[in-house]
């Protein structure tokens, strides 16, 4: 089976056929990670309820949690207004990041210069 043409026609992919997927915890809105999907990965995600991505480094599909046990149960999927980004809201079991951190954004928090004067 293939991705529904109504969805596929809306996607704006990178030259290598991918769209970024932002992944959030469904009940808190916590941003967990960013991954990449092609049409097949999105189709698998929509039809299995398990987050499936395309690994650019390994050149293969991966289902989040198959090796780590840190499963992402998909609760909601949406395209942004331009069709160039997918938002997945998931129920994350365990760590989302391959480093073992809860999110991929825990380790390197950057300082921001306050130019607004806000307290």
* pLDDT tens readout for residues 38-97: 999 999 999 999 999 999 999 999 999 999 999 999 999 999 999 999 999 999 999 999
- Tell me whether residue 104 is annotated as binding: yes
Q: Which CATH number characterizes residue 22's domain?
A: 3.10.20.810
pLDDT of residue 118: 66
pLDDT of residue 106: 84
Split into its structural domains, the chain has a count of 1
Non-local CB neighbours of 27 within 8 Å, separated by 6+ positions: 91
- Tell me whether residue 82 is annotated as binding: yes
Cβ atoms of residues 37 and 7 within 8 Å: no
pLDDT of residue 5: 94
pLDDT of residue 108: 83
Q: Is residue 68 part of a domain?
A: yes
pTM over 0.85: yes
Domain that holds residue 72: 18-92
Distance from CA of residue 64 to its chain's centroid?
10
Q: Is residue 38 part of a domain?
A: yes
Across 100-109, average pLDDT = 88
- Tell me whether residue 91 is annotated as binding: no
Q: Is residue 73 part of a domain?
A: yes
Q: Is residue 113 part of a domain?
A: no
């Amino acid at each position: 089976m293939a991705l529904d043409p109504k969805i596929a026609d809306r996607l704006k992919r990178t030259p290598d056929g991918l769209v970024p997927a932002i992944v959030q915890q469904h009940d808190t809105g916590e941003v967990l990670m960013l991954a990449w999907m092609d049409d097949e990965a999105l189709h698998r995600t929509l039809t299995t309820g398990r987050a499936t991505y395309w690994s650019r480094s390994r050149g293969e599909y991966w289902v989040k949690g198959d090796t780590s046990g840190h499963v992402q149960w998909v609760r909601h999927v949406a395209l942004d207004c331009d069709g160039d980004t997918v938002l997945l809201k998931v129920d994350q079991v365990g760590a989302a990041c391959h480093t073992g951190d809860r999110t991929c954004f825990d380790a390197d928090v950057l300082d921001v210069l306050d130019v607004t004067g806000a307290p």
